[in-house]
Amino acid sequence: MAFSFRRKSAIPGFGLALGYTIAYLGLIVLLPLAALVLRAAEVGPGGLYALVTDPRVLGALRTSFGLALLAAATNAVFGMIVAWVLVRYRFPGRGLVDAAVDLPFALPTAVAGIALAALYAPNGWIGSLFEPYGIRIAFTPLGIYIALVFIGLPFIVRTVQPVIAECDREIEEASATLGANRWQTVFRVILPPLTPALLTGFALAFARGVGEYGSIIFIAGNIPYISEIAPLLIVIKLEEYDYAGATAIATVMLVVAFAILLAINLVQAWSRRRLGHA
Amino acid sequence: MTHRPGRRIFRRAALAAAAILSTIGMSQAQTVLLNVSYDPTRELYRDINKAFNDKLVADRKKPIAVRNSHGGSGAQARAVIDGLDADVVTLALSADIDAIAQRSQRIPANWQSRLPNKSTPFSSTIVFLVRAGNPKAIRDWDDLARPGVQVVTPNPKTSGGARWNYLAAWGFGLKKFGGDEAKVREFVGAIYKNAPTLDTGARGSTVSFAQRGVGDVLIAWENEAYLADLEFGKGKFDIVTPSISIRAETPVSIVDANVDRKGTRELAEAYLRFLWSDQAQAIAARHYYRPARPEAAAKGDLARFATLELLSIDDDFGGWAKAQATHFGDKAIFDQIYSPSR
């Protein structure tokens, strides 16, 4: 039996579709990335090494990636609960709540940032509640985290929601009649099929959070080594007309983000194989 | 059967189309000048543009449309370098126009000598805005370095205005410590360590201080300080003028390559010359900019400006190119303030 590159499909047009896919991805994704890397290459290996060992750059990268991961993890838990409630329960105003989930998508990020800064500032509605206890939210890393949780929420909800809708209630009932307790039902019956979708949402929220600028910049404080995000360092480099340095930081971010996204994908594939869910 | 709605709708549509076409035709006949400026000049140029058109009409010339673009001064300069079709640039510091001249060659290197007052029709200076009654008793730059005082100022790496703030503080330090640079560094460092937030632009800092209640003192452009006073409530803030500050020169230039290609050189030059006219100088003073020709401004407007010692970027700091490299370059003095020293 001859090895076949593709499985037979009822619909023709494999060559055309693949050619289109490659051309489109190349034009829209790879070409700009190639330009980025090419520009970054101008700093040379020595310059790149100096850049990635610079404590300030490292501090900013740690802030951006660490807080993006933390915010995505927070959203994985609470976004999942939101998705569950929206699918499984019928209550007045459900449509409204469902629509509100998309707002962080639709809102221009700068507007979101200004609104959040106003809320969490020492004299804002929420910030003023914490101020007497010496807790500052706006202009600290905590503020960045809150902004990232805000913009990341819809990614989790929208990826998990359809999968929950697909799940049969009968399976949960079967699990209960077979003697599983509630926690067992949640962790061994409900969660496994949701895991791949949850990981996808997590990866999307994380990727968005790493590159986020507009909504953070107004609430971050932007103090070097403390509340400075990597995208701000890029803007600072551009401000100095150091295009090569700016693209070099961007390339470093890209490589780290790619590695993390790849790892998430591998975990996803592993969980699929192990749990036997497609 | 006289009632024929379909026909009426058609006629209305045709009328609307004609109206739209005629406005497009009109706007095409009108010459458009693009003035690329920095952030806080919105209100100022709105008035100046109107006055310029009034003058054109009075001279029996066709009025033009002046479009204004505002943003951070450095970002605006980059946009022009990258091809934004500006006819004139009116930026926050000469270094940004120098950058356009150097990197895009769209402006000749000697641009600053083409107009009077080093091409600076009006300037500003750096003052303090404090909470009403001045509870922290802030009088001068030393008070900003005191422990327990929170200072709001934008990031000099991203904001042109913030570089003036920094240099004014530096100039005060130089006088106070008799030129001992190590002490001046420590002094300016203490001020920046008192900053709870470094916004990316001057407007951002004003909003943080005035609206969000952050900090005890805002280091700001004089015009911005007065504007904040008007905009965010009279009586909520006091303006404190330090003993020494800097003359914040905000120069202007035509973008030669762009006006020659578009054929707007004559108009663009007239527009810039108009900035020195009696009308424009009076408007500038009304908007709290210090006019190059004070004799043209209203006495009452001038009386609002406090007299203080003003340093000059060229005489006291050796020009922008030098100040930029020693203070704001990569790993230069400003970056060192924040690096964990040990």
The total domain count for chain A is 1
CB-based contact (8 Å) between A131 and chain B? no
Tens digit of each residue's pLDDT (9 = 90 or more) over B40-81: 888 899 999 999 999 999 998 888 999 999 988 888 999 999
Q: Which among B74, B195, B338 is the nearest to A239, CB-wise?
A: B74
Intra-chain end-to-end CA distance of chain B, in Å: 95
Residue A39 lies in a domain: yes
Instruction: State the residue range of the domain holding A265.
Output: 28-277
**The pLDDT of residue B1:** 41
> Is beta strand B309-311 parallel, antiparallel or unpaired with respect to B217-221?
unpaired
Contact A139 B211 (CB under 8 A): no
Q: Tell me: pLDDT of A62 over 50.
A: yes
Q: Tell me: pLDDT of B2 over 50.
A: no
**pLDDT tier, A4 (very low <50, low <70, confident <90, very high otherwise):** low
CATH number at residue A155: 1.10.3720.10
Residue A4 lies in a domain: no
Contact B78 A238 (CB under 8 A): yes
CB-based contact (8 Å) between B321 and chain A? no
Q: How far is B258 from chain A (nearest CA, A)?
A: 21
CB-based contact (8 Å) between B264 and chain A? no
Regarding predicted confidence, which is higher, B71 or A155? A155
Q: How far is A70 from chain B (nearest CA, A)?
A: 23
**The pLDDT of residue B11:** 61
Q: Tell me: pLDDT of A88 over 80.
A: yes
**pLDDT tier, B17 (very low <50, low <70, confident <90, very high otherwise):** low
CB-based contact (8 Å) between A111 and chain B? no
**The pLDDT of residue A1:** 44
- Burial A114-142, CB ≥16 within 10 A → b, else e: bbbbbbbbbebeebeebbeeeebbbbbbb
Q: Tell me: pLDDT of B30 over 80.
A: no
Q: Which of chain A's residues have a Cβ under 8 Å away from the Cβ of B330?
A: 237, 240, 242, 245
Q: Tell me: pLDDT of A264 over 80.
A: yes
**The pLDDT of residue B342:** 37
**The pLDDT of residue B19:** 55
Q: Which among B103, B212, B329 is the nearest to A123, CB-wise?
A: B212
Between positions 61 and 100 of A, the ones with CB within 8 A of B are none
Q: How far is B185 from chain A (nearest CA, A)?
A: 17
Contact A225 B340 (CB under 8 A): yes
Contact A222 B213 (CB under 8 A): no
Residue A12 lies in a domain: no
Contact A138 B157 (CB under 8 A): no
Residue A10 lies in a domain: no
**pLDDT tier, B14 (very low <50, low <70, confident <90, very high otherwise):** low
Q: Which of chain A's residues have a Cβ under 8 Å away from the Cβ of B213?
A: 121-123
Residue A20 lies in a domain: no
3-state secondary structure of B309: strand
Tens digit of each residue's pLDDT (9 = 90 or more) over B151-196: 999 999 888 889 999 999 999 999 999 989 999 999 999 999 999 9
% residues pLDDT > 90 (chain B):
65
Contact B212 A225 (CB under 8 A): no
Tens digit of each residue's pLDDT (9 = 90 or more) over B268-312: 999 999 999 999 999 999 999 999 999 999 999 999 998 889 999
**pLDDT tier, B239 (very low <50, low <70, confident <90, very high otherwise):** very high
Tens digit of each residue's pLDDT (9 = 90 or more) over B99-129: 999 999 999 999 999 999 999 999 999 999 9
Tens digit of each residue's pLDDT (9 = 90 or more) over A202-219: 999 999 999 899 899 888
- The backbone torsions φ and ψ at residue A273, rounded to the nearest 5 degrees and listed phi first, read -60, -45
**The pLDDT of residue B123:** 94
Most confident of A102-111, A120-129, A144-153: A144-153
Residue A5 lies in a domain: no
Residue A14 lies in a domain: no
pTM of the shown model: 0.79
Residue A144 lies in a domain: yes
What's the average model confidence in pLDDT over A207-233?
Answer: 90
Q: Using CA atoms, how far apart are residues A218 and A112, in angstroms rounded to an integer?
A: 9
Contact A235 B200 (CB under 8 A): yes
